[in-house]
Amino acid sequence: MQTDPIGLMDSGVGGLTVLKEVQRLLPAENTVFLGDQARLPYGPRSVAEVTTFTRQIATYLRQHANIKLFVIACNTATAAALTQMQAELPVPVVGVIAPGATAAAATTANHQIGVIATAGTVKSGQYQRDIFAADAQSQVVSVACPQLVTLAEQNDLHSGHAQAVVTQNLAAFKGTGIDTLVMGCTHFPLLQDVIQTAIGPDVKLVNPGVATAEKVAAILKDQDLLNVSGQPVTATYYTTGDVAEFNQLASEWLDVKPKTVTHLAVSTLAAVAEVE
Ligand code: DGL
């Protein structure tokens, strides 16, 4: 059980920003990541659809990789499906929103917090609720920035075009007085440099992936699930999209470079979920 991998999912490459933090904090853990790029973006989809996709991926990773813990490394899927997955799965399930909200509340000095996310996450109101639970004085301004997902998926992270798009999307925060900005979509830490330039040096950026990795570590420790075998660590990658594109971004971004990335057909995911 302890040598079983931690499973992580996202609609695309964004979840790699969470995986990176998990690998950094828990270098002895085996991991398996699935990016559902064929069905990206999740942001505009209904709660029911995102929940179905999340269940399919969780089921696949349970059946094929025997994951010991499931990280929903996608804010949109966390907002849609965390409670349900926690009720359905026989292993611990960790989302990214509560850890991000707690980190934001711990970061702000003036209680004015911005959140950038997908339309689905903003509509759910989950960040507002979780930030308010951690800091009752907080005021939250949330802005949906779906164009930033496209930039990240296209690996357009540092160009003048990327800067212009991000600056335009973040203009909504002018005059709000926020001192903290939550990157409430796992794709956004890939754009951290251009986001920081656009929002200015006085606003602190929160990457929920960092606090999510800490939560994963705490659960594994509490449940005596840490991998102490000393065996070589494996990192497995699946995408429902283009293997070469996934591999390029993952190789640039991660400290633990992918050895192989396997393509997975959406039909396989859908069929597996029906079997369970
Ligand atoms: N990375 C996902 C998130 O954190 C969303 C990107 C998408 O719209 O699929 O919400």
Specify whether the CB–CB gap between 12 and 36 falls below 8 A.
yes
Specify whether the CB–CB gap between 100 and 126 falls below 8 A.
no
Q: Would you say residue 140 lies in a domain? A: yes
Which domain-ending residue is among 169, 185, 207?
A: 207
The size of the chain, in residues, is: 276
Coil vs helix vs strand at 60: helix
Q: Are 101 and 25 part of one and the same domain? A: no
Q: Would you say residue 154 lies in a domain? A: yes
Q: Are 163 and 84 part of one and the same domain? A: no
Residue 57 sits at the vertex; the CA angle it makes with 255 and 102, to the nearest 5 degrees, is: 60
Cis status, amide bond into 41, omega within 30 of 0: yes
Q: What is the pLDDT of residue 276?
A: 52
Mutate to test the pocket of ligand 1, among 33, 72, 96, 186 (most ligand atoms within 8 A of CB): 186
Q: What is the pLDDT of residue 243?
A: 96
> The domain that contains 107 carries what CATH number?
3.40.50.1860
- How many DSSP H helices and E strands does the chain contain? 12, 10
Give the C-alpha separation, 221 to 215, whole Å.
10
Average pLDDT by stretches of 10, the chain with 276 residues: 96 96 98 97 98 97 97 98 97 98 98 98 98 97 97 96 98 97 97 98 98 98 97 96 94 89 95 68
Q: Are 165 and 249 part of one and the same domain? A: no
Q: Is the dihedral of CA 14, 15, 20, 21 positive or negative?
A: positive
Q: Are 92 and 175 part of one and the same domain? A: no
CA nearest neighbour of 210 among 109, 108, 102: 102
Burial 216-229 (b: 16+ CB within 10 A, else e): beebbeeeebebee
Q: Are 202 and 226 part of one and the same domain? A: no
Q: Are 181 and 197 part of one and the same domain? A: yes
Quick check: pTM over 0.85? yes
Ligand 1 closest atom vs CA 11: 9
14 lines ligand 1 (CB under 6 A): yes
Q: What is the pLDDT of residue 275?
A: 56
Which domain-ending residue is among 179, 207, 235?
A: 207
Q: Are 41 and 114 part of one and the same domain? A: no
74 lines ligand 1 (CB under 6 A): yes
Q: Are 129 and 28 part of one and the same domain? A: no
Q: Are 86 and 219 part of one and the same domain? A: yes
Q: What is the pLDDT of residue 274?
A: 64
Distance 123 CA to ligand 1 centre (A): 13
Which domain-ending residue is among 207, 230, 257?
A: 207
Distance 239 CA to ligand 1 centre (A): 15
Which residues are CB-neighbours of 23 under 8 A, at least 6 positions away? Answer: 29, 31, 235, 254, 255, 256
In Å, how far from its chain's centre is CA 158? Answer: 20
Q: Are 166 and 105 part of one and the same domain? A: yes
Q: Are 64 and 135 part of one and the same domain? A: no
Q: What is the pLDDT of residue 149?
A: 96
Q: Are 104 and 180 part of one and the same domain? A: yes
Q: Would you say residue 150 lies in a domain? A: yes
Identify the residue whose tokens are 């209904």: 46
Q: Would you say residue 1 lies in a domain? A: no
Q: Known catalytic residues?
A: 74, 185
Q: Would you say residue 167 lies in a domain? A: yes
Give the C-alpha separation, 44 to 119, whole Å.
6
Amino acid identity of 138? Answer: S
Ligand 1 closest atom vs CA 187: 1
Q: Would you say residue 177 lies in a domain? A: yes
7 lines ligand 1 (CB under 6 A): no
35 lines ligand 1 (CB under 6 A): no
Q: Which residues are 169's β-sheet partners?
A: none
Mutate to test the pocket of ligand 1, among 149, 153, 154, 206 (most ligand atoms within 8 A of CB): 149
The number of folded domains in the chain is 2
Domain that includes residue 68, residue range: 6-96+210-275
CA nearest neighbour of 98 among 216, 213, 207, 212: 212
Q: Name the token pair of 2.
A: 């302890």
Distance 223 CA to ligand 1 centre (A): 29
Distance 176 CA to ligand 1 centre (A): 25
Q: Would you say residue 181 lies in a domain? A: yes
